[in-house]
């Protein structure tokens, strides 16, 4: 509380130590203490935490951008290919593909197909192409783009559903996604949220929230995880941030976070993102 000219003014303050110095942030409450002071206090502390978090994320972006610009073109192409191989292997493995990381690399780099199901081979090749195209072409995130990605990945293996939103009910373990009659409306709302938020919400947070909402809608009969992770990395890449690969060996944490709701998934996403890119932070 501060008293100015015999009038009381109330503030919330949050102090913390940073680099040996005490930093204080405050929020003005008004001339009286609001009844929902605990809610305001919680929200204020969350804002403070996010502000510090986003400074860390900006350091990651800055180092990534500097290092990426320093690469010769031929090295950039090799790095893109290596990322695409790792991403394609993990995202397909999460969905049940039998192709290993080494086999994915052999298939992509040397056109050597492993002795595995033809459908797995074709989806690996198609996904790799879509992912590399996504890195090269800056296209606005839209329903036509999402449908095109799905069609290109699955047209040779699941032609009856490729590039089409589902027209039937589905179940994902114990989770029942929205009725198929609501899918188009929900997807329109998702794209509207993305467009209205991309200049308001931090890109890392936006990528997490869009991914969770997309998976909750579950708009396709199959392939939702792979397309959802493409969308997530499209947002990160075209906002200048390094991408995030959800690792197959850590998929159980990913699934549990998706099941716990959007806020829990956001927290999981941030933890994984910071862990994945801690090397960039060390070089900042």
**Gap between the Cα atoms of 114 and 108, Å rounded:** 11
> Residue 234 catalytic?
no
Running DSSP on this structure, what letter comes out for residue 178? Answer: P
**Please, are residues 91 and 229 in contact by the beta-carbon 8 Å criterion?**
yes
Running DSSP on this structure, what letter comes out for residue 199? Answer: T
**Gap between the Cα atoms of 255 and 278, Å rounded:** 23
Pair type for strands 21-30 and 2-4: unpaired
Residue with tokens 């804002």: 47
**Gap between the Cα atoms of 227 and 153, Å rounded:** 9
Exposure b/e, 122-149, CB count within 10 A at least 16 = b: bbbbbbbebbbebbeeeeebeeebbbeb
**Gap between the Cα atoms of 204 and 184, Å rounded:** 25
**Gap between the Cα atoms of 5 and 7, Å rounded:** 5
Judged by phi (left if over 0) then psi (alpha if -120 to 50, else beta), residue 100 lies in beta
Instruction: Tell the burial category of 11 from Cβ atoms under 10 Å away from its Cβ (0-12, 13-18, 19+).
Output: exposed
Catalytic residue (one of 127, 212, 218, 234): 218
**Which residues are known catalytic residues?**
218
């Amino acid at each position: 509380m501060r008293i100015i000219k015999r009038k009381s003014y109330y503030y919330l303050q949050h102090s913390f130590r940073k680099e040996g110095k005490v930093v204080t942030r405050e929020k003005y409450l008004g001339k009286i203490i609001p009844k929902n002071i605990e809610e305001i206090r919680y929200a204020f502390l969350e804002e403070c935490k996010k502000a510090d978090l986003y400074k860390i994320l900006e350091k990651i972006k800055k180092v990534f951008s500097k290092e990426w610009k320093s690469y010769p073109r031929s090295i950039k192409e090799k790095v893109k290919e290596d990322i695409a191989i790792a991403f394609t292997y993990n995202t397909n493995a999460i969905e049940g593909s039998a192709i290993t990381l080494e086999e994915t690399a052999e298939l992509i780099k040397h056109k050597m197909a492993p002795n595995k199901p033809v459908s797995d081979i074709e989806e690996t090749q198609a996904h790799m192409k879509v992912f590399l195209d996504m890195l090269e072409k800056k296209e606005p995130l839209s329903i036509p783009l999402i449908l095109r990605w799905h069609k290109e990945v699955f047209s040779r293996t699941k032609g009856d559903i490729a590039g089409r939103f589902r027209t039937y009910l589905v179940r994902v373990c114990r989770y029942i996604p929205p009725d198929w009659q609501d899918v188009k409306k929900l997807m329109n709302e998702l794209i509207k949220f993305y467009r209205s938020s991309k200049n308001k919400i931090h890109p890392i947070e936006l990528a997490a929230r869009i991914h969770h909402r997309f998976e909750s809608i579950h708009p396709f009969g199959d392939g939702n995880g792979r397309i959802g992770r493409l969308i997530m990395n499209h947002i990160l890449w075209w906002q200048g941030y390094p991408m995030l690969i959800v690792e197959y060996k850590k998929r159980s944490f990913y699934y549990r976070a998706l099941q716990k709701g959007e806020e829990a998934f956001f927290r999981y996403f941030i933890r994984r993102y910071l862990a994945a890119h801690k090397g960039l932070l060390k070089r900042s």
